[in-house]
Amino acid sequence: MRHILSIIATLVIIYIIPFILYAAGRHVYFAWDNRFRNRKGQRPEGDYITKDLALMYRKVPMDIAFQVCDPLAEGVGDGGIGIFALSFKPKLPVPIHLRGKYEFLKKIKLQLKQRGFKNRFWIVKKKGDSIFF
């Protein structure tokens, strides 16, 4: 039997379980509510990446990644999407948990570009906005 949709629950940072979906030949990641943040720079960034992010399933590149980009977490990793985007390089990171602060995304896109992220980054402009992949 050929599967159209495959879903994998993966453990990240002890209690957070994000989901990886394979649908129509695409690898889609949904963060749930993690922020992949290094609180107050408590650990070196390399240590953080190898110990926390390495728990995630990485056998195939991510096409679309729904990842937390929380304006309240701005000081801890570009709202939560920075380290994630730089580590996994999804073709299209989709920011979630914006709290209606859409202007925040322009700043995050610039920060990611300055740190070497070359893929697309969706700047949501308003509720109901859409994008085609």
The residue with greater pLDDT, 91 or 45, is 91
Neighbours of 127 (CB within 10 A): 8
**CA distances from residue 100 to 8, 32, 55, 72, 73 in whole angstroms, order as listed:** 30, 18, 31, 12, 14
- In this prediction the pTM is 0.76
Contacting residues for 75 by C-beta, under 8 A, at least 6 apart: none
* Helix runs in 14-122, H state only: 45-51, 82-88, 104-114
- For position 120, what pLDDT does the model report? 93
> Total domain count for the chain?
1
* Nearest alpha-carbon partner for 57 in 9, 105, 117: 9
Which structural domain range is residue 56 located in?
9-114
* Nearest alpha-carbon partner for 64 in 4, 125, 121: 121
Dihedral (Cα; 129, 4, 67, 12), 10-degree rounding: 160
Q: How many residues does the chain have?
A: 133
- For position 33, what pLDDT does the model report? 63
Q: How far is CA 16 from the centre of its chain?
A: 14
Q: Is residue 56 included in any domain, yes or no?
A: yes
Q: Is residue 21 included in any domain, yes or no?
A: yes
Position 70 confidence tier, pLDDT thresholds 50, 70, 90:
confident
Q: Is residue 72 included in any domain, yes or no?
A: yes
- The two tokens of residue 14 are 């002890």
Q: Is residue 35 included in any domain, yes or no?
A: yes
Q: Is residue 82 included in any domain, yes or no?
A: yes
- For position 113, what pLDDT does the model report? 93
- Residue-wise pLDDT tens digits, 83-117: 788 888 899 999 988 888 888 899 999 999 999 99
